[in-house]
Amino acid sequence: MKIKIISIVATVLAFVSLASCNNSTSVNEKTTDSPTNISDTNSTNMNTENTTLDKKNFETTMDGRQTDLYILKNHNGMEADITNYGGRLVSLMVPDKNGKMTDVVVGFNSLDDYVNSTEPYFGATIGRYGNRIAKGKFTLDGKQYTLFTNNGANTLHGGKKGYQAVVWDAKQINDSTLELTYLSKDMEEGFPGNLNVKVTYSLTGDNGFKCGYEATTDKKTVVNLTNHAFFNLNGEGSGTILNHAVQIYASKYNPVDTGLIPSGQLAPVAGTPMDFTKPKTIGERVDAENEQLKNGKGYDHNFILNGTKVKGLNHAATVTGDKSGIVMDVYTEEPALQFYSGNFMQSKNTFKGGSKDDFRTAFAMETQHYPDSPNQPSFPSTVLKPGDVYKTKSVYVFTAVK
């Protein structure tokens, strides 16, 4: 298998609430999107005011580039606040079961807080390669590349200065859409090729947060982009996420070693604590006597999606907040999903509302290709060649149940 590249066809118009598309094609095929009337474009007028955060706390100059905070809204009152420092989702306001707007993404009040955080990935756009590469090495066409190892003996989320620590060029297209671009230069963090990256974040008419990723290169390289939002569907500062109910549409997962590098197996979830084929609370088995849970200090594993299609996208997961009734459905063109249960949160940082980042008070659902794919030929390829286009999307859709 190759990295997925998507061609949008006319039939997608019937499903614009998810901005979905047809079946994927190989990364080696050049594709062009046809014009589509996307429902998440609500207006051409831009919001200039944020109701929850002070934009001034995000306005400075870093590495010669201007940072800012951008506010996206849809017609339902949903709001996403994003800073171009690290392409970070700072806040995401959605209605709970009583219609109360609830911030379901943990984050900080200022740019300084992000820069000084002991956890570097809150809300960030992740690249050039999301997740881990074993021993910080991989080989392309017989040439070995050496990366910075920032996670024990391994490389995590792009290395020492991944995309979470750079200032992206930002262009707010309209009320509901933000476009971020970045040139990742040849050999940045050890990766070959000048990689031109475009990330488009938008709010859809059905309360979806859509992440669109696109990249081209002038030299063969590896790419695996995602967003690392930390969610608490009961609201930031509401306490543990252990009573959230999770369903993951995957019958297999990647077992990992103590460094969280996959063994290469696609193991069945049946009969293990990894079985979320039916809804289970996070806390029900997270501390079970299980080698995989010990290796991850909880859930920190890649799930192989079954390919259950909803409006052209893989239905990856459904998560429900026990107090708020907020339901988050994750849809993606990616083949896998990393579920992380907040095992390394240590109460060292203070969030927007004054709460600490306490142990397991937020979780992540990262759509992706498999970890360590560059070193595992049996995994779907993450290689991108000159002349080809890396293109993929994921959507997090929010509803509520009484």
Q: Is the dihedral of CA 118, 364, 264, 142 positive or negative?
A: negative
Tell me if residue 288 falls in helix, strand or coil.
coil
Structure tokens at 17: 């609430």
Report the b/e string of 186-196 with b at 16+ CB within 10 A: eebbbbbbbbe
Look at the chain and count its residues: 402
Q: Are 375 and 202 in contact (CB under 8 A)?
A: no
Say if strands 326-332 and 390-400 run parallel, antiparallel, or are unpaired: antiparallel
Q: Is the residue at 308 inside a domain?
A: no
Q: Is the Cβ–Cβ distance between 203 and 176 less than 8 Å?
A: yes
Residue 189 lies in a domain: yes
List 212's β-bridge partners, or say none: 200, 393
On whether the CB atoms of residues 218 and 262 are closer than 8 A, the answer is no
Please enumerate in sequence order all residues whose Cβ is within 8 A of that of 284, keeping only pairs 6 or more positions apart, or say none. none
At 292, is the secondary structure helix, strand, or coil? helix
Q: How far is CA 42 from CA 93, 198, 394, in A?
A: 17, 21, 19
**Is the residue at 268 inside a domain?**
no
Residue 331 lies in a domain: no
Helix residue ranges, H only, 105-184: 111-116
Q: Is residue 99 part of a domain?
A: yes
Distance CA 63, CA 318 (A): 39
3: nearest Cα among 42, 37, 31: 31
- How far apart CA 211 and CA 203 sit, in angstroms, is 9
**Per the structure block, which two tokens stand in for 269?**
């979830």
Q: Quick check: is 14 in a domain?
A: yes
Q: Work out how many domains the chain is built from and give that number.
A: 1
Residue numbers annotated as active site = 228, 366
pTM: 0.88
* 79 falls within a domain: yes
Burial class (CB in 10 A: 0-12, 13-18, 19+), 54: exposed
| Largest CA-CA distance found in the chain, in angstroms, rounded | 58
**Does residue 320 fall inside a structural domain?**
no
Domain that holds residue 74: 5-233+336-400
Phi and psi for 68 in degrees, rounded to 5?
A: -160, 175
pLDDT tens column, 201-256: 999 999 999 999 999 999 999 999 999 999 999 999 999 999 999 999 999 999 99
The tens place of each residue's pLDDT in the chain, 402 residues long, gives 444 433 333 333 333 333 333 333 333 333 333 332 333 444 334 333 335 799 999 999 999 999 999 999 999 999 999 999 999 999 999 999 999 999 999 999 999 999 999 999 999 999 999 999 999 999 999 999 999 999 999 999 999 999 999 999 999 999 999 999 999 999 999 999 999 999 999 999 999 999 999 999 999 999 999 999 999 999 999 999 999 999 999 999 999 999 999 999 999 999 999 999 999 999 999 999 999 999 999 999 999 999 999 989 999 999 999 999 999 999 999 999 999 999 999 999 999 999 999 999 999 999 999 999 999 999 999 999 999 999 999 999 999 998
**Residue 188, domain CATH:** 2.70.98.10
β-pairing, 221-222 vs 383-384, is: antiparallel
Q: What does the block give as tokens for 123? A: 């809300």
pLDDT tens column, 300-335: 999 999 999 998 999 999 999 999 999 999 999 999
Tokens for 190, please give them: 């050890």
